Amino acid sequence: MLELINANLGGFNNALGLQFTKADPDEYVAEMEITDRHLQPYGLVHGGVYAGMIETLCSTGAALTVWGESKTTVGLENNTSFLKAVRGGRLRCTARPLLLGKRTHVWEAGIHDDQGRLVASGRIRLMVLEPGAAVAGREVSMQVKNDPAR
């Protein structure tokens, strides 16, 4: 599953430099190395990096939870709190489900720096879509590269 996820990260996650290291139904983990492109003008990691990591891990977990039913998920809400400033090193995000409902999921995630400090936390609420559902005028579907089932 890790190979499949990492082969299908998409443009934004590739730009972040995100790599998944664990993909279990009850826990997803990914890491990234902080570079200059992740910093805001004060030299601190940009809040969008934290929000993006949290949304990516929670969304991936939710999507894979319903994938076997040919359903998809889309984000409804992202609440990310920035707890400690970071200037460099590695970030590790861990996401876990709180609620796996029929129509909505709620996931939570925490980001730790390479010193083990919790630097950001968040909660993502997602909507579960039936097969063939459209969003923004198009059917929601994932274009999977390197799918071992195909």
* Annotation marks residue 55 as catalytic: yes
Rounded CA-CA distance 8/4 in Å is 6
- Options 3, 31, 55, 77, the catalytic residue: 55
Cβ pair 96, 27 in contact under 8 A:
yes
Rounded CA-CA distance 92/72 in Å is 26
Measured from the Cβ of residue 133, the count of other Cβ atoms closer than 10 Å reads 14
Supply 103's token pair. 């129509």
Q: Do the bridges between strand 19-24 and strand 72-82 make them parallel or antiparallel, or are there none, so unpaired?
A: unpaired
Cite the active site residues. 55
